[in-house]
Amino acid sequence: MGATSEVVAPCFFIEPNLTFSHVATPEVGIQVMLSHESAPPWLRTVEERIEGFPVFCSILLNRPSVLAASARDILRRFPIRS
């Protein structure tokens, strides 16, 4: 990934209001699309909230293991409620 010209197949995970996508160009990273209830408050119209807001996390600047540890910490602090 990154230094080679190898084509990477799309890899994504979709949750109803979060979409995680692998981005290979122009920089290798993970894009998180925040939509519906997870959309930022400045997206006011229904159309804007459905389309969502992209957040890019560079793998070169942010180690994936650190991002995963942060996500686990957030899940521990805010557990899934039934």
* Cα–Cα distance, 9 to 22 (Å, whole number): 9
pLDDT for 53: 94
At 24 the pLDDT is 83
- Residue 58 domain-assigned (yes or no): yes
> In the prediction, which pLDDT does 46 show?
94
> 7 lies in a domain?
no
* Residue bearing the bigger pLDDT, 5 or 17: 17
Q: Quote the pLDDT of residue 1.
A: 43
Range of the domain at 40: 12-77
Q: Is this structure's pTM higher than 0.85?
A: no
Give the total number of structural domains in the chain.
Answer: 1
**3-class SS at 48?**
helix
- State the average pLDDT over residues 38-60: 91
Q: Tokens in use for 11?
A: 């890899």
Q: What residues contact 73, with CB distance under 8 A and at least 6 apart?
A: none
